[in-house]
Chains A and B, each alone.
Chain A
């Protein structure tokens, strides 16, 4: 079996699984062997999952991250537009790697709370969600083809478009729902920190975003509920 055949088979099976599991895939459902990811344990038999150790994927620590201050966000979405226009040449907020729109009107808990939530309809607070550039990056660990790695100079966790097979496993794996997907290219995409000069930070008219030295935020952040928002998936 050559690499191309392996990729095709892997891709087909993983896409099937991603659909079947409806977003519940995590990195624990994968093993790494010989540099190639193989199919998740759940597909082989749930009894194996309990025995499986999480894969270890060591990435160099990111040098920075975007720190968002929701108390200053004015909800203009210029950060989302700068992200995709200045990096990708298109206005495509659904593939922005900073996410504001999903919290803009009602906050992270959605419209169910009516005026009692956050956002424009609630208390005015708009939470800008950003990639934590996790030390133990779930997106990278979950990727069946190791397409997500650290990229100098900022060591942001970056999707290698050439390797990505478009299976969306990383999209499901990120507990903060920060992966994006480029429908045109059929590839996942994520915050690259714009090589240390984030476009979103430059674009914010309210100075609500800062590019700061990396710090551990993933452990102090609550995962984003999959129930609330599926648009970015």
Chain B
């Protein structure tokens, strides 16, 4: 084991039923699945039998990171948390959430590549990990407290520089839409109630160890600098959103917001973000401002600074200070988020008294973040907000909630865009209070079932952006046509894949994107202009497979798929090329286990095949194409009636998408009739044991 760098070397297992803790060797057992999600899928496949429910003691929760976590490889700060997903409906299936902050690095410094939580405690507990000393602590005093109080108290015990991941009241009360959260506001959605069911309030980690870089320090420094030079802003947007002296191109949709005159206005001394020439690696942190991206330019004056994960220069987690909101609503002045949390100011209220991008929107966002992040509520990638708005305005809510209860809510506040309405609503969701509070916390699938509503209606409604299995789309056809559609069919929650969108939305002109696409996926036809899509082709299928595998690779080696891959860069002198082998270079140099890009892609394929196998096993069906890889009707419609492949629409064509699925399954070497991987596909990835098990159950094509 000592031969490898990067990995800490141990997986920590904690059985809450028995109180027993033990470790096992990461390399010996899990090197072929890398870490992170790969390790999580493997544990679920090996140890959690089909038919297990998310809240059963037999379900396991795997906090997994990979060999790059805790190193200086840029963008390595996300922890993958894998378990049976409580909002996956109608059958709970495997899913993964991700949280940023310092937890991933701290777990590594404590000596662990993963933490596997097993069983169920007989009383509320929290887990204390200080290097090799692991203790299950009584959490009865913390139970019922919010995430903020819990984190502060544990930090006082473990040390101010520990990393704490905690659930709030929502997770305790088994609200399916609940999170586990670390570092004030970095959350992994969906996992909170699974930990709540195990009576596990929090995990506190403090590590004082070290991670070896296997390659020479000089080579490592050169490689890290190369990687830094390829970074854009958040989501790998490689051009700024406004003309800059150094920039050949700009795109108003870019998250690269820095410009002279745009200031972090609430910094202790305001800072001008400047023009941020990409060659100046000492200004990467000023490029991104996601508060401005989501809330509009009003957010500049409230910006304190960029925050984010350990080791990441991007700082996508913008910190804002809004004293007016604090004074008005009695909440803290400070708030932080990257995307979804900001949506209480964007997609929950129909309108605000001062319009959609004004002061009240900022205040709504502040109130929403404060409550949701302390109670530990999850928005299901903003599906909660969209569902709520629809159900209220179409009258369903009034009909389903008893009249007495309905009257308890100040609906005039909701309609007027008064953020104080959130004080009425969100605590009730966390406490499962009343019919409304209970139903809205269930997640879309269980909500529809409880209220006898038709999922088919949700699948028709373009505004709802609902996809399947209780979850919405995540970078689908609106960003990458057929590639986005296919990727959204593959997962059991919102897809969370950014590989494709980080390229198609990078801001480069189509001609440049096509030139790079030809080099990476063999044809310029792999990409289209957004909203001017063309029919499916083989290069798009290659790009889709590549997108899927890179996401799994990133989630397993600890690179942020909200930033990578890096096939494009902001560097004109490189022809805006990035480096498609950067993952392989980082992995090989950190671990000393030299693997080419193609070899790593095979590891990623192995990892996703485990996800696929788990899905097939737990659905008890190999008919994935018909039963799992489904596409909502709204994808095939346009609100103005524009035909597919015309300019200005994201509408897809059903026949073309059938072709797309054929080509994708073919690219994956899966069976096109069922969409299930073949025995040969499993064997090629070294998963003959998995194929054997599925074969015995009649689940191979």
- Seen from chain A, the residues whose Cβ lies within 8 Å of a Cβ on chain B are 71-78, 81-82, 84-95, 101-102, 104-106, 110-112, 114-115, 120-125, 183-184, 199, 202-207, 228-229, 231
B312-334, CB < 8 A from A: 312-313, 315, 319, 321, 332, 334
Give the interface of B toward A (CB within 8 A): 70-72, 102, 105, 109, 148, 151-152, 155-156, 159-161, 183-184, 206, 208-213, 216-217, 220-221, 224, 228, 267-269, 271, 281-286, 304-313, 315, 319, 321, 332, 334, 336
Least distance between A200 CB and chain B CB atoms (Å): 11
CA distance A112 to B159 in the complex (A): 10
Give the docked Cα–Cα distance between A228 and B184 (Å).
21
Task: Identify which of B105, B217, B285 contacts A206 (C-beta below 8 A).
Answer: B285
**B315 lies within 8 A of A74 (CB):** yes
> Which residues of chain B are near A229, meaning CB under 8 Å?
159-161
Which residues in B have their C-beta under 8 angstroms from that of A199?
A: 221
Pick the contact of B304 from A78, A101, A121, A124 — CB < 8 Å? A124
Question: Are B220's CB and A89's CB within 8 A?
Answer: yes
Is there contact, CB below 8 Å, between A91 and B71? yes
**CB-CB nearest in chain A for B333:** A123
Q: Give Cα A75–Cα B209 distance, bound, in whole angstroms.
A: 20
Q: Residues of B contacting A75 with CB < 8 Å?
A: 307-308
Cβ–Cβ contact B282 & A77, under 8 A:
no
- Known contacts A89-B216, A95-B210, A231-B208, A124 near B312 by CB under 8 Å: no
Give the distance in Å from the alpha carbon of A84 to the alpha carbon of B151 in the complex.
29
User: Which of A88, A89, A199 has the largest number of chain B CB atoms within 10 A?
Assistant: A89
Complex Cα spacing A207 to B258, Å: 15
Q: How far, in Å, is A116 (CB) from chain B's closest CB?
A: 10
The residue on A at minimum CB distance from B274 is A207
Instruction: Write out the residue numbers on chain B whose beta carbons fall within 8 Å of the beta carbon of A184.
Output: 210
Enumerate chain A residues within 8 angstroms of B285, measured Cβ to Cβ: 74, 76, 205-206
Closest to A79 in B: B72
- Give the shortest distance, in Å, between A182 (CB) and chain B (any CB): 9
Task: Check if B217 sits within 8 Å of A76, measured CB to CB.
Answer: no
Q: Given A86-B220, A205-B281: A91 and B210 within 8 A (CB)?
A: yes
B152 touches A114 (CB 8 A): yes
Of all chain B residues, the one with the shortest Cβ separation from A119 is: B160
CB neighbours of A90 from chain B (8 A): 210-213
Complex interface: chain B residues within 8 A of A114 (CB)? 152
Q: B155 contacts which of A73, A95, A105, A206 (Cβ < 8 Å)? A: A105
Bound state CA distance, A229 and B610, in angstroms? 44
Do A82 and B72 touch across chains, with their CB atoms under 8 A apart? yes
Q: Give the contacting residue for A91; candidates B155, B211, B332; CB below 8 A.
A: B211
* Nearest CB in chain B: distance from A204 CB, A: 6
**B271 & A71 in contact (Cβ 8 Å cutoff):** yes
- Chain B neighbourhood of A204, CB < 8 A: 282
Provide a sorted-by-A list of 5 A–B residue pairs whose CB atoms are within 8 angstroms.
Answer: A73-B305, A84-B210, A85-B217, A85-B221, A121-B184
B109 touches which of A78, A88, A94 (Cβ 8 Å): A94
